[in-house]
Each structure stands twice: as C-alpha cells, then as structure tokens.
C-alpha cells in the first residue's frame, strides 16, 4: 500500500509542474476515458475558483468526482469539503456515483460523522449546506461556527445554483491548509439566473474560470439516440439550456416571468365561484371532461398550501383551495377533489415532492392511486428510476415555466381565480437559491401559481382530433343508454 501511495504522490508532484495530464481514469473495475471538457476541468489546478457549467448528461459529475479523488490521492493529508444543498442530496445523488468511481480499497466511508478517509491521510468532509441559511437560528449559528473552524485545502460543491453566495464566500475563506500545494474551489452548475453568473461571467472576479460543457461534448458516453430523444421531447428553451448548456441571460430573462399581456388577457376569464365546499372554490361542476390536479404543499405561518383543478379538455381552472392547514388536511382535500372530478377517468394528482412534499406524498399514497410519477435516467448506469411527485429545482422549475408559457401562448389556459392571477404579476426571476430561479418577493405569495403550473404539467391543448374522439365517445354512450332503455322500458 505504501508503494501505491508513493506512486500517486510522485504523480502529484509531476501534475503540479505540468509534466503530466490525466486523460483517463482507472476505477479498478473499468477505465473512464475523459472527454475534452472533462480533461480541461480535471487538469486545471489554477485558478482558485473553477466552475464547470452545462446542461444535463454533460459528464459534469464524473469529472467532478474524478478530480476530487485525484486531489486527495496526489496530495497526501488534503482536507476537502464536499457539499450540496442537503446531506441527503449527497447521500442519494452523489455517493452512489462516488463509490462507483473511487477505486475500492483506496478509501473508507464513515457514515456517522459524514467522512471519507483516503489511505494516504487525506479526508473528505460531507456537508449539507442548507442549514447554514435555512435552519433555525441556533442551527445556523452552530453550522457557521463549524465552518469557521475548518482549515481546508479544497471545497467541492455540486449544483452550485442551490447554494447562497454567503455560504460560498464563507467557505472560500477556509482554503488555508498550508501543507498541501493546491488550494481550489471546484463546483458544478446548470445554467441559471443566480449570483454565479455575475461572479464568473458578467463581472468575473479575479482567480475565476468557467468551463462550459454540453450533452454533445459527452455524446460518446451516452446511449444511442439519447440526445435526439431529449431534443424531440422538449421545447427550444430546454434544448438551448439543458442540451447545449447555453448560459445566456437573454434565455434566462430577468424581471417578471410572465408579461403584462398575459395578465390582461387572463382578466377576461376571471369569475366568482359557483359555490364553496368546505373552503374549496368550485368554479365549474364536474362533467365528462378529463381533469388534472396540482398541489403546492407549502405549510406553516409563511406560505399557505394551494390545490388547483384544471380541465385538460378546455384549459379552464375549475376548482381551487388555499389555506394554512396540516399535511393530512391537504391530502384529504386533494383526494376529495380528485374523486369529484373523475367522472370520465381517474384524475391525476401532481404534488410537489420537494421538502414537505414528501410527507404529503406519503399521506396521498394511503388514500389515492393516481399520483404523478417522475422518471429520471442515469446515463452512466443506463437505468431509469421512478418516483412519485414533481421535484422542483432550478431545472424543473424552468420546465414548468416553459410549459405554462407555451400553453398561454396557445390561448389554452383560462384562469378563474383572481387570487391566482394576482400572483402572475409578482412572479419574478431571482438569484435567491431557495426560490430555484423564480418566485414571489418575500412579502408576496406564489403558491397558487405553482399549484396551477403543476396542474397544467404535461397537458397538451385539445386538438380537433381529440374533439372528434370525445364526440364519438359521447355518441357511443348515448347509443348505449338508448339501447338499454329499449331493452328495459320500465327504466
């Protein structure tokens, strides 16, 4: 083992001098050939702040973890913080890939303290960073004190768009371990309108460097047809940002998400509810149309929950509920509405899965079968996984907005609730990490709008063909009733 450690230390000395570059990586079970952008990122030991930006499946995570291991192994006694928004994000999204890439026998994972010890004395500290700004005052203070006490040789943050600048700045000041030759802050990001765009692009700080990548750069490592499917199944905005990896402010926009024209056009559809049912506004009674329900389960004293029912046939908002109530009550209301609006077929519920949304999904599972299933694809393992609910982050919120914008442009959406329409006016692009790229100011709400966008998720405007199918279905139903009456005149 000592010969192995000495061999990597010698390569580290050569690496610092620029005598060698890494173009592939041997995990012990397979050999990873790095693409051009991955090699650029992995071999950049300067400047201090390095960011790898790109859309989905661009190979960012592989390059990120390969470099993490190399810095640890080439420079003994390194101490590197590995961070994401939450520790759960690290455990579920990063550690499986890390264990797949790090050569077996070169490290020991200690789950309790959140530590990975490398055989040469280097160590990786796993840290969920949301508590530094989103926890209680006591938790935040303790977390910041823990950070201030660290002496690090490096920091690695995955999904930088989910992290506040104050955290980044605090961690930057911890790069002070003086017995290691390389001190660097390495991060990955998807293109988003947040503070890092200014930090690395529009007004770049000293000692910063941005490396951009795309699916096309990583095409050799993706299944055949994967990129074509991504382009075919999404809109142009998705293609430019998440396939091509463009980080253009004209694409991300600034200010209001929805134009004043949208607000003015939707004013024509606002109407009072026909009746109220235990706090639920009923704008339109159930008919033989197809419906979908969106649920934003925000709870507590700051944000209410919101439930929206829309017709997939007409595009109308037909029912609405908003209140400060516990998760069990939200689930009860959503299921009540789903059963009401299931005359033609069972209504799909699309709940947000982020944060408290997991508790809502557990409550819904006990009461109702038809819950939205999201599918994710791991291009490294070539496997698909399925989970309940809509997980909201920078990328998926942009997809929600793109979907809603497309439906609005086709004049399909018809909003009934004035409260919902009011939220269109205050919904803005923002660089606040906790709002995932867009949201209402701190003194306003966007829960009704989020629930509405979830209700319209994956909804296609009715076409003439669908109208004809529906008419044919009605004709068949009427014919069946007529024949039944002929056979049973007493009925």
Note the pLDDT tens digit of each residue in 171-196: 999 999 999 999 999 999 988 777 89
- Given this model, what pLDDT does residue 394 score? 80
Mean pLDDT for all residues in the chain? 87
According to the 3-state scheme, what is the secondary structure of the chain? CHHHHHHHHHHHHHHHCCCCCCCEEECCCCEEECCHHHHHHHHCCCCCEEEEEECCCCCHHHHHHHHHHHHHHHCCCCEEEEEECCHHHHHHHHHHHHHHHCCCCCEEEECCCCEEEECCCCEEEEEECCHHHHCCHHHHHHHHHHHHCCCECEEEECCHHHCCHHHHHHHHCCECCCCCCCCEEEEEECCCCCHHHHHHHHCCCCCEEEEEECCHHHHHHCCCCHHHHHHHCCCHHHHHHHHCCCCCHHHHCCCECCCHHHHHHHHHHCCCCCEEECCEEECCCCCCCCEEEEEECCCCCCCCEEEEEEECCCCEEEEEEEECCCHHHHHHHHHHHHHHCCCCCCCEEEEECCCCHHHHHHHHHCCCCCECEEEEEECCCCEEEEEECECCCHHHHHHHHHHHHHHHHCCCCECCCHHHHHHHHHCEECCCHHHCCEECCCCCCCHHHHHHHHHCCCCCCCCHHHHHHHHHHHHHHHHHHHHHHHHCCCC
The tens-digit pLDDT sequence of the chain (491 residues) is: 899 999 999 999 999 999 999 999 999 999 999 999 999 999 999 999 999 999 889 999 999 999 999 999 999 999 999 999 888 889 988 999 999 999 999 999 999 999 999 999 999 999 998 765 554 555 556 666 777 778 999 999 999 988 888 889 999 999 999 999 999 999 999 887 778 988 999 889 999 999 999 999 999 999 989 999 888 877 777 788 889 988 876 665 445 688 778 888 999 999 999 999 999 999 999 999 999 999 999 765 567 899 999 999 999 999 999 999 999 999 999 999 999 999 888 999 999 998 788 899 999 999 999 999 987 765 555 667 788 999 888 878 888 988 998 899 899 999 999 999 988 887 877 766 666 667 776 667 889 999 999 999 999 886 444 555 555 566 666 766 666 665 565 54
Query: 123 with 49: CB under 8 angstroms?
Result: no
pTM exceeding 0.95: no
- Given this model, what pLDDT does residue 377 score? 61
The Cα 120–Cα 151 span in angstroms is: 18
Among residues 37, 433, 392, 393, which one has the least CA distance to residue 196? 433
Terminal-to-terminal C-alpha distance of the chain: 88
Q: Specify the residue for token string 């499986």.
A: 96
- Cα distances (angstroms) measured from residue 246 to each of 136, 213, 318, 376, 397: 37, 9, 38, 22, 17
Query: 207 with 26: CB under 8 angstroms?
Result: no
- Given this model, what pLDDT does residue 189 score? 94
- Given this model, what pLDDT does residue 290 score? 94
Among residues 320, 312, 392, which one has the least CA distance to residue 347? 312
- Given this model, what pLDDT does residue 467 score? 52
């Amino acid at each position: 083992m000592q010969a192995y450690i000495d061999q990597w230390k010698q390569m580290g000395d050569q690496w610092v001098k620029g005598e060698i570059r890494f173009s592939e990586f041997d995990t012990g079970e397979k050999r990873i050939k790095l693409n051009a952008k991955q090699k650029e990122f992995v071999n950049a030991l300067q400047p201090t702040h390095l960011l790898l930006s790109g859309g989905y499946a661009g190979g960012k995570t592989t390059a990120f973890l390969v470099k993490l291991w190399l810095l640890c192994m080439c420079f003994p006694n390194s101490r590197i913080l590995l961070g994401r928004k939450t520790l759960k994000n690290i455990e579920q999204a990063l550690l499986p890939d890390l264990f797949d890439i790090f050569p077996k026998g070169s490290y020991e994972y200690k789950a309790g303290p959140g530590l990975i010890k490398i055989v040469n004395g280097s160590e990786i500290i796993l840290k969920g960073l949301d508590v530094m700004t989103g926890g209680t005052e006591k938790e935040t203070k303790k977390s910041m004190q823990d950070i201030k006490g660290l002496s690090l040789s490096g920091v690695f943050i995955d999904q930088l768009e989910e992290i506040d600048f104050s955290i980044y700045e605090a961690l930057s000041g911890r790069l002070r371990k003086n017995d290691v030759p390389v001190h660097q802050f390495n991060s990955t990001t998807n293109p988003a309108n947040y503070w890092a765009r200014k930090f690395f692009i529009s007004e770049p700080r000293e000692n910063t460097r941005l490396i951009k990548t795309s699916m096309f750069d990583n095409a050799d490592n993706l299944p055949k047809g994967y990129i074509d499917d991504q382009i075919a199944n999404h809109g142009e905005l998705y293609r430019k940002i998440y396939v091509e990896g463009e980080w253009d402010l004209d694409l991300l926009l600034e200010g209001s998400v929805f134009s004043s024209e949208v607000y003015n056009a939707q004013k024509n559809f606002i109407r009072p509810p026909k009746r109220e049912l235990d706090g639920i506004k009923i704008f339109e009674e159930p008919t033989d149309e197809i419906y979908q329900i969106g649920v934003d389960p925000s709870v507590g004293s700051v944000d209410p929950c919101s439930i929206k029912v829309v017709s997939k046939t007409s595009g109308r908002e037909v029912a609405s509920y908003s209140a400060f109530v516990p998760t069990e009550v939200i689930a009860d209301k959503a299921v009540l509405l789903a059963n009401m609006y299931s005359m033609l077929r069972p209504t799909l519920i699309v709940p947000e899965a982020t944060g408290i949304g997991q508790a809502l999904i557990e409550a819904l599972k006990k009461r109702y079968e038809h819950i939205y299933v999201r599918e994710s694809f791991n291009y490294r393992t070539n496997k698909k996984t399925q989970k309940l609910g809509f997980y909201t982050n920078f990328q998926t919120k942009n997809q929600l907005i793109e979907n809603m914008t497309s439906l609005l442009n086709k004049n399909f959406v018809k909003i009934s609730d004035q409260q919902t329409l009011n939220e269109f006016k205050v919904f803005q692009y923002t660089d606040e990490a906790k709002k995932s790229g867009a949201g209402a100011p701190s003194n306003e709400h966007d829960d009704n709008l989020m629930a509405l966008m979830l209700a319209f998720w994956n909804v296609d405007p009715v076409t003439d063909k669908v109208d004809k199918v529906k008419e044919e279905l009605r004709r068949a139903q009427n014919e069946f009733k007529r024949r039944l009456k002929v056979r049973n005149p007493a009925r």
